[in-house]
Homo-oligomer: A and B are copies of this chain.
Amino acid sequence: MSELAQRSELPVPTIKYYLREGLLHHGEAVGATRAKYDESHVRRLRLIRALTEVAGMRLEDVRRVLDAIDDDSLTWHEAIGSAHTRLPPPISADETEAERPRVDALLARHDWELSEQSQHREALAGALTSLAALGHPPSDEQLDTYAEAATLIAERDLDALRETDRAEAVEHAVVSTLLLEPVLLILRRVAQENSSRRRAN
């Protein structure tokens, strides 16, 4: 147990809590008070840490991602898609009503479906509502370009996945999605600086 704590960089009481809550599978009992843990435990704890600390997910949502990983009826890619579905959106939505038809039209144009649990439709409608309220509504053409750019990136990120172990693949996919966000935003500013400069010449 103490080795597990060290390798996962999580305190022992936290690990015990995950065991009690069923987020972590029990180790093989060796005697009355000792259990043997293996690589699968370390990987699972790393994934839980990534989902809670990097993704800021609640344990309730983490559990549903873990359920997807453990559900043998899902394929490897389904488990990854499922984890993305459950990621909390980067902003919370207040007013969404006005822009929902636009969001639905956007999703339809790109042949995109969203699962029932996804909060992304609401979040997107909320973001578009804010933009309109501030007098800067994006055009459909702009949104389509953003969607195409997002698809380019998603396809490349999936191509980059090399792991064969499901838990590892989901961890890598989710952590990359989140940690590459600032990279994308910085590159967008750099691109804007450069595209502006080119048009200026």
Contacts and interface: CB of A to CB of B under 8 A. Distances in A.
A153 B158 contact: no
Interface residues of A, number: 77
B160 A191 contact: no
Task: Name A's interface SS.
Answer: helix
Contacts of A152: 145, 148-149, 152
B200 A78 contact: yes
A154 interface: yes
A109 to B, nearest CB: 12
A160 B181 CA distance: 24
A31 interface: no
Nearest to A121: B190
Contacts of A147: 187, 191
Contacts of A128: 183
A138 interface: yes
A96 B127 CA distance: 32
Given A136-B172, A160-B142, A193 B149 contact: no
Nearest to A128: B183
Interface stretch (A22-30, A56-64, A83-91): A83-91
A147 B81 CA distance: 24
A52 interface: no
Contacts of A180: 131, 138, 142, 146
Given A138-B180, A153-B145, A196-B158, A186 B123 contact: yes
A155 interface: yes
B142 A182 contact: no
A157 interface: yes
Contact of A134 (B112, B156, B179): B179
8 contacts: A81-B196, A84-B192, A120-B193, A138-B176, A141-B160, A143-B183, A154-B192, A155-B195
